[in-house]
């Protein structure tokens, strides 16, 4: 019988980082450490602003052993600094894996930074450890909708071949949704049920339906008697928010107001576009701390989840599950066969459109009345509790690694 070695989690982002990947990997580690030692190889514990949270030895049980790589003080806004940091993280994480992980150990690797994936697959063959890859970002396919590479370019062909080999060489692939599962089945096949679906979870204990006075949350915006549609999350190129502003510009329903919360590389351009279009029914706010998400997620009538249709199978918007925990209906704009589109259709917790359905979307907004929400919010919370609670999702990891 093959002996099972120690369990390792490899992720650039980890506690105290509160971004999505850092948050999820931290909680997976804490859960798995209840009945075994979990070793972590990760990035620095220093935030961008130089602050720290509770020391790791107070936050985790003694079963969590953290091995951090040294941070580099680089300007993230400079392209050369970002490239150097990316290379440094990839090489340093791989080096730590090489010297610390032993034969028959079990490794759960998250796909960030991207090039750790082929390096880890190569090391798993040399050192004979079991490798599972948790796919948060599908590289290099995600470079196509980002318009960084073209699908017929030589660079893309080489990168795709390399990463396809890396995924095929792993022992297990964990994806976040059925659309990602479909993509990987086409990419590498699914021999011996190698591909597992484990969704992100709803924080049902810290996010729940409450009554919030939106005028207090958005104190500088006149929202009296308004129906609030809220987008909260990364404001980047892949969310299709520029197209959404074009749709909003054609809406005649004066009862609606659109709130955009968050930061991102595309935010300044989006604000300029909203101003140029003269959209008085659109407002922008800064991102909020995770500790305040229950207030902000409840400060709306309908939550918007938007993602470029070309992102089918390349990622699942994790914020959707906490929107459900807050008991809010979801307006999903993206590929209808994406995981969130399927979730809405199967459970009647919102509405689905694709960006190509511009006329239908404009008509939806023009006809929208608060009575259309009905019991969609109640259903949304019920599904969060019954299918996507943190306990139910983490139990899936326990079944793999207990």
Q: What SS3 string covers 40-64?
A: EEECCCCCCCCCCCCCHHHHCCCCE
Q: Which two tokens stand for residue 170?
A: 């792993």
Chain segment 22-39, per-residue pLDDT in tens: 999 999 999 999 999 999
> How far apart are alpha carbons 257 and 332 in whole angstroms?
17
Q: In this structure, are residues 34 and 64 in contact, taking their beta carbons and an 8 Å threshold?
A: no
Task: Find all residues with CB under 8 Å of 337, minimum gap 6, and list them.
Answer: 179, 312
Beta-bridge mates of residue 305: 332
Beta-bridge mates of residue 304: 231, 331
CATH 3.40.50.2000 residue spans of the chain: 7-198, 214-387
Is residue 280 predicted with pLDDT exceeding 60?
yes
Helix (H, G, I), strand (E, B) or coil at 229: strand
CATH fold of 7-198? Rossmann fold (3.40.50)
Helix (H, G, I), strand (E, B) or coil at 76: coil
Pick from 19, 6, 376: nearest CA to 200: 19
Q: In this structure, are residues 96 and 69 in contact, taking their beta carbons and an 8 Å threshold?
A: yes
Specify the pLDDT at position 186: 94
Query: In which residue are the tokens 């204990």 written?
Result: 205
Specify the pLDDT at position 224: 86
Is residue 75 predicted with pLDDT exceeding 70?
no
Q: How many residues does the chain have?
A: 402
Cross-sheet strand order for the sheet of 282-285: 282-285, 256-261, 227-232, 302-306, 330-333, 350-353
Instruction: Please give the residue that has the higher pLDDT: either 3 or 152.
Output: 152
φ, ψ (nearest 5 deg) of residue 303: -100, 140
> How far apart are alpha carbons 330 and 282 in whole angstroms?
18
Q: Name the percent of the chain in helix, strand, coil, to the closest 5.
A: 45, 15, 40
> What would you report as the CA-atom Rg of the chain, rounded to the nearest whole angstrom?
22
Task: Find all residues with CB under 8 Å of 257, minimum gap 6, and list them.
Answer: 221, 223, 226, 227, 228, 229, 281, 282, 283
> How far apart are alpha carbons 109 and 358 in whole angstroms?
39
> How far apart are alpha carbons 307 and 304 in whole angstroms?
10
Specify the pLDDT at position 50: 42
Pick from 78-87, 239-248, 324-333: least confident: 78-87
Is residue 326 predicted with pLDDT exceeding 80?
yes
**Domain spanning 214-387, CATH architecture:** 3-Layer(aba) Sandwich (3.40)
Is residue 1 predicted with pLDDT exceeding 50?
no
Mean pLDDT of the chain: 92
Is residue 46 predicted with pLDDT exceeding 60?
no
């Amino acid at each position: 019988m093959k002996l099972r070695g120690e369990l390792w989690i490899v992720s650039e982002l980890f506690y105290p980082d509160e971004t999505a990947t850092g948050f999820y990997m931290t909680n997976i580690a804490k859960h798995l450490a209840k009945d075994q030692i979990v070793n972590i190889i990760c990035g620095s514990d220093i935030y961008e602003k130089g602050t720290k949270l509770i020391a790791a030895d107070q936050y985790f049980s003694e079963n969590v052993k953290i091995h951090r790589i040294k941070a580099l003080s680089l300007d993230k806004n400079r392209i050369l600094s970002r490239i150097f940091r990316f290379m440094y993280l990839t090489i340093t994480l791989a080096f730590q894996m090489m010297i610390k992980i032993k034969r028959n150990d079990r490794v759960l690797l998250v796909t960030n930074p991207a090039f750790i994936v082929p390096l880890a697959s190569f090391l798993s063959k040399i050192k004979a450890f079991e490798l599972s890859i948790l796919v948060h970002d599908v590289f290099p396919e995600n470079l196509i909708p980002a318009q960084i590479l073209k699908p017929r370019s030589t660079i893309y062909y080489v990168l795709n071949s390399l990463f396809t080999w890396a995924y095929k060489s792993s022992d297990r692939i964990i994806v976040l949704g059925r659309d990602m599962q479909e993509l990987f089945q086409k990419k590498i096949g699914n021999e011996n049920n190698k591909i597992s679906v484990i969704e992100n979870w709803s924080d049902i204990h810290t996010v729940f339906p409450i009554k919030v006075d939106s005028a207090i949350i958005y104190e500088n915006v006149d929202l009296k008697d308004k129906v609030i549609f809220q987008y909260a999350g990364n404001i980047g190129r892949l969310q299709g928010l520029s197209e959404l502003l074009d749709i909003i510009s054609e809406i005649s329903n004066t009862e609606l107001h659109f709130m955009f919360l968050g930061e991102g590389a595309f935010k300044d351009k989006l604000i300029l576009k909203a101003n140029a279009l003269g959209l008085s029914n659109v407002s922008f706010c800064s991102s909020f701390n995770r500790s305040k998400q229950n207030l902000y997620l409840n400060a709306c009538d309908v939550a918007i989840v938007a993602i470029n249709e070309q992102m089918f199978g390349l990622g699942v918007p994790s914020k959707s599950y906490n929107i459900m925990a807050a008991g809010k209906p979801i307006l999903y704009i993206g590929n209808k066969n994406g995981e969130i589109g399927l979730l809405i259709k199967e459970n009647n917790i919102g509405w689905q459109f694709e960006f190509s359905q511009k006329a239908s979307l404009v008509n939806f907004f023009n006809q929208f009345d608060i009575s259309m929400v009905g019991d969609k919010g109640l259903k949304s919370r019920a599904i969060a509790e019954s299918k996507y609670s943190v306990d139910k999702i983490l139990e899936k990891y326990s079944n793999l690694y207990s």
